Structure 1
Amino acid sequence: MDYEWLALLPPIIAIGFALWKRQVILSLLVGVFTGATIIAGWNPLKGLLDTFSVYIVEKSLADSWNIGIIVFLLAVGGMIGVIGKMGGTKAIATAIAKKATDVRSTQLATALMGIAIFFDDYANSIVVGNTMRPITDAQNISREKLAYIVDSSAAPVSSMAPISTWIAMELGLIAAGLADVGLSGDAMTVFFQTIPYRFYSLFALVLLFNLIIQRKDYSTMLKAEIRARKTGKVYADGANPLIAEDKNLLPDDGVDGSIWDVIIPITIFLLVTVFGLWYNGYEEGKNFKDSIGNSDASVVLTWAAFIGSIVAGSIGVIKKRFNLSGAMDSWVSGAKSMFTAVIILTLAFALKGVISEMGLDVWLGEIAKDSLNEGFLPLIVFAASMFMAFAIGSSWGTNGILMPIVIPIAAQVSNATGAVTPLMLACMGSVLTGAVFGDHCSPISDTTILSSSASGSDHIDHVRTQMPYAITAAVFAIIFGFIPAGFGLSPWISLILGLISITLFVKFFGKKIDNNGNIVE
């Protein structure tokens, strides 16, 4: 059945209800129920039953990728719980706090850590958020600001990294698109050529570092930062942080941890992730880079989290920070702290199952195809990619739908014969980075949920405070990037102009606050 515009109702209702009532779980459940009822021929009873049996169980939990991410989330929560119990988190927070003497240095350390973990946005969000949360709390940095830094240094970096879990998907779409239009060219080369055209991702990073270095904020984030500095409340009254505080996650009295209690398990986690991605994706004839791109990140991250948990627990037992029962209790407590996030992810996956069955992606793709035209082609593609990613909550799904549509159209419009044209590169970049924008702003996006969870932020507060910054980067990307690119301007000139403009924007529009939460003129 062709649902057309009706396929918009589930995500619109879920997003609207979430922003209105601030009840994420109920909002997602209502969205799934709405879609299930429409699919069931507007039969609400069957829709209710299918909500649980078909979409939550079959479409969400029975999917190997989905359950892999959920198990990973629980396992990494357990690992962080063990590290915290033996005093490791407290020790590294104390060590970094000595050097992170102010808000700026702490935020900068968080952003740089996010860029360093470039190979997977899921691992990025979980590790950076959990590691830096106690340190940013000590500096009275709002959880909303931490979630923004974590989120904005995850997908924008991972999606452009040549060694990452994104690479196979992007290379596959590029190669298939070039083959469809009969163009020669190495997909990896084209991948690198699209990076200067990923204006949103690049400008989002430029904005992030400008806000940190200039120590400024604006809009809803400014209010959150003022609250945190004035009152010490790192999240608002009535907020529902996606992580639970538990005394079992804190070291016992008299236990002094070491920074090595964190460094060793996290290093093992990272090493297992990198080499696990190679091992999982290896096939005869594939090199290291291609093997990583061919891997199943959900499986590898689960390996890494459990092995990291074992290492952390072993360190604690050997150092007599706790016994074996204490190690298990702290692991379970850490996993329990992720329970709310697990429920939200489960429902988000279920909503995506409803959306997919209703064919929202196909319908949006057809609309995008019919609305594209020449000079403003990159802009229109970017807008279509943003909207689709926001509606379906999936950057990967957006890329998979739009790239096969956009590449042939861009090739035809630019009269490509034998080689990839700059307009084609601009359009491919528009899809790949527009998907990241939509993912940043969508309350039903799994990466946005993970950022909220790892940072201990209220999910809707994270979306509300990040959205103005994401929109700012998108506006600069449109003005200085996609419109000029459509008319042939070099992307390098666009990037320079955007860098200068964003720096000046933050300087004159942003507001600096002191440690007491007062605005500094």
Structure 2
Amino acid sequence: MPTKTTHRVWGAIVTTVVALGASMYVANHDSEWRTLWPSLAALAVVFASGSALVGLLVGAMCGAILLAEGSFTGTVEQLVIKQFWPIFGSSWKLSAMLFTLVLGGFVALVEAGGGLQGLVRRLLGTGHAAHRRMQTTVLGFGLLVFFDGLANTMLIGRLLRSAADRCGVSREKLAYLADTTGSAVACLAFISTWIAFQLSMIREGFELAGQNEVSAYSYFFRSSPTNYYCWFALVLALVCVWREFNPGPMGGVERAARRSQKSVEVAASDVSASHWGLAIIPIAVLTLSIPVLTYVLGSDSLFPFSLSKFALAYSVAEIYVPQILVVSSLLASLGAALAYRMGMRPSAAGRVVPSSSAVFIAGVREIAVPVMILIAAWMLGAAISQLGTADWLCVSLQGRLPVYLLPAGTFVLGAAISFSTGTSWGTMGVLMPLAIPVIYSLTSGEVDMERDRLIVASIGAVFSGAVFGDHCSPFSDTTIVASIASGVEPLDHVWTQLPFALIAAFVAVFVGFVPLGFGLPAVLCLIAGGLVLWALPSVWKTVG
């Protein structure tokens, strides 16, 4: 009898052949949908095969075929020279891969040293509510690591997944919570690795509208209450934890996790359990070294210290962020190696204790294969960028909405771009220079206050739309890293997280951006949306 694996293998073969063959046809025929074809092909193969790696690679090949207009040699050249090789010329992507690998070794050391087990025992205790305390701990960690979305998802997922198993929390739920508190928090934080890029995009939008004397920071702060998707995604995560709200496939995986729950209590005879401080110290080194190094490199003087000076240092040190992440992870790994040696008790003399380097390498090896998924996602992203998918979507929808629906339309367009391309920063880079000049052109007869209100709303809508795809697109590097770190197949993470993302997006549109466009105060829309989400479990019963 054919197994599920057999069906997936045949599904992968058939959809791959069809996708590549159809790409040859599309490459030789003009079609307004050709820019979307690589994304559609990748999605089809991912769903048919159950493999994110296969789907992303096929999508990248489809894009190469289109760009080479069906030429075999041109396709190979495009795929290798223009999509694969440039990855290793990007300091950010190289640093992201190195950071991910080093962090895998770091977490392996923290786990093997026993401090993590002691920390879990201290934080979570025992009892029926352990799963809720576990999820609350994940949310707390997510808010603590506010300075970088990638560091957040990688650290939380990889560090807490064994604790999640013991507390009856599914790894899919862990991936969802880590992913949600990653980009959403980094996008809202005024001190983060995102802020310099966000400010530069706001500034560019105003310059294209002929307005050079504006404060980008001021508009960033004013747009924060209108960044509805990020706020509502965080509120929904809190509702999910505290009101046991698990819509869609998440309910099933949560029930399965509860049934297979391991005991939270670590036996007193378990030699792998050590003092919780052996976990806290290396985690603190990783968490604090990133903002500290950024401040040191970006500030002209260390004292006197102020928050505004700290924020300015982040914008100045933007070019050093990739290297800072790697250096921080290496420093933390050294601290974890020291803690590991301290955690090896004399009572363990009867068994072979691996060296810290062996444990570190084993952790790196565990992450090495999944990093290939990241590379495949970047290859597809390069093809999508060269095909101009985002620009095509913008042109297709431009000028088709009345002024009062522009914030909602901007969010929907941003969500479509970010989901189909998998890039939040790319979405900001495409939309922000369009959104602000469009508002100026369509409100030429309006008073300055009304125009300014719509500009602030559109800035928040661009940020919200960009983060939507970062959460649930199978092509997003944050989505992939969150699933890798939590030990979940990327497709399973997408399926279980998608209902949460769609709910937050729906509320953002109809309770946030539409009323905002008609003139309701931004804070009132924010409060109303939060109340709607908190009341949702009362009318939508889920199990899990």
| Residue matched to 2:501 | 470
| Residue matched to 1:14 | 42
Q: Greater shift after overlay, 426-435 or 354-363?
A: 354-363
- Does residue 512 of structure 2 align to residue 484 of structure 1? no
Q: Greater shift after overlay, 323-332 or 439-448?
A: 323-332
| Residue matched to 1:317 | 341
- TM-score, scaled to structure 2: 0.85
Counterpart selection for 1:292 from 314, 317, 320: 314
Q: CA deviation at 1:287?
A: 3.2
| Residue matched to 2:166 | 138
**Partner amino acid, structure 2, of 1:503:** W
CA RMSD, Structure 1 to Structure 2 (Å): 2.5
5+ residue gaps, structure 1, are 234-251, 514-521
| Residue matched to 1:247 | none
**Equivalence map 1:262-281=2 (5 Å):** 262-281=279-298
Q: CA deviation at 1:279?
A: 3.5
| Residue matched to 2:103 | 76
Q: Greater shift after overlay, 252-261 or 359-368?
A: 252-261
Counterpart selection for 1:257 from 270, 274, 296: 274
- Does residue 202 of structure 2 align to residue 180 of structure 1? no
**Equivalence map 1:113-192=2 (5 Å):** 113-183=141-211, 184-192=213-221
- Contact 2:157–2:178 (Cα < 8 Å) also in 1: yes
Q: CA deviation at 1:354?
A: 1.3
Q: Give the total of aligned pairs.
A: 494
Q: Residue 149 and residue 479 in structure 1: after superposition, are their counterparts in 2 closer, same or farther (change >3 A)?
A: same
Mapped to 2, the partners of 1:469 and 1:169 lie a distance apart of 27
- Contact 2:112–2:272 (Cα < 8 Å) also in 1: no
Q: CA deviation at 1:395?
A: 0.3
**Equivalence map 1:440-455=2 (5 Å):** 440-455=471-486
| Residue matched to 2:393 | 364
Mapped to 1, the partners of 2:95 and 2:55 lie a distance apart of 24
Q: Greater shift after overlay, 340-349 or 308-317?
A: 308-317
What SS class does the counterpart of residue 125 from structure 2 fall into?
helix
- Deviations, residues 316-338 of structure 1 (Å, cap 9, x unaligned): 33555699971111111111111
Q: Residue 476 and residue 170 in structure 1: after superposition, are their counterparts in 2 closer, same or farther (change >3 A)?
A: same
What SS class does the counterpart of residue 432 from structure 2 fall into?
helix
Q: CA deviation at 1:453?
A: 1.3
- Deviations, residues 463-494 of structure 1 (Å, cap 9, x unaligned): 00100110011111111111111111111111
Identical aligned residues as a percent = 30
Mapped to 2, the partners of 1:319 and 1:202 lie a distance apart of 40
Mapped to 2, the partners of 1:303 and 1:123 lie a distance apart of 13
Mapped to 2, the partners of 1:108 and 1:316 lie a distance apart of 27
| Residue matched to 2:237 | 208
- Deviations, residues 328-378 of structure 1 (Å, cap 9, x unaligned): 111111111112321001111111111122222322232343434312111
Q: CA deviation at 1:61?
A: 2.6
Counterpart selection for 1:41 from 69, 75, 87: 69
- Does residue 53 of structure 2 align to residue 29 of structure 1? no
Mapped to 1, the partners of 2:476 and 2:191 lie a distance apart of 23
Mapped to 2, the partners of 1:137 and 1:231 lie a distance apart of 8
What SS class does the counterpart of residue 147 from structure 2 fall into?
coil
- Contact 2:422–2:477 (Cα < 8 Å) also in 1: yes
Q: CA deviation at 1:288?
A: 2.2
- Does residue 89 of structure 2 align to residue 67 of structure 1? no
| Residue matched to 1:459 | 490
Rg bigger for which structure? 2
Q: CA deviation at 1:441?
A: 1.5
What SS class does the counterpart of residue 185 from structure 1 fall into?
coil
**Partner amino acid, structure 2, of 1:168:** A
5+ residue gaps, structure 2, are 1-26, 263-268, 303-307
- Does residue 456 of structure 2 align to residue 425 of structure 1? yes
**Partner amino acid, structure 2, of 1:84:** E
**Equivalence map 1:301-450=2 (5 Å):** 301-317=325-341, 326-415=355-444, 421-450=452-481
- Deviations, residues 236-258 of structure 1 (Å, cap 9, x unaligned): xxxxxxxxxxxxxxxx9734422
Mapped to 2, the partners of 1:258 and 1:41 lie a distance apart of 61
**Partner amino acid, structure 1, of 2:292:** F
Q: Residue 98 and residue 187 in structure 1: after superposition, are their counterparts in 2 closer, same or farther (change >3 A)?
A: same
- TM-score, scaled to structure 1: 0.89
Mapped to 2, the partners of 1:95 and 1:7 lie a distance apart of 52
Q: CA deviation at 1:145?
A: 0.8
**Partner amino acid, structure 2, of 1:449:** I
Mapped to 2, the partners of 1:328 and 1:253 lie a distance apart of 23
Mapped to 1, the partners of 2:503 and 2:42 lie a distance apart of 24
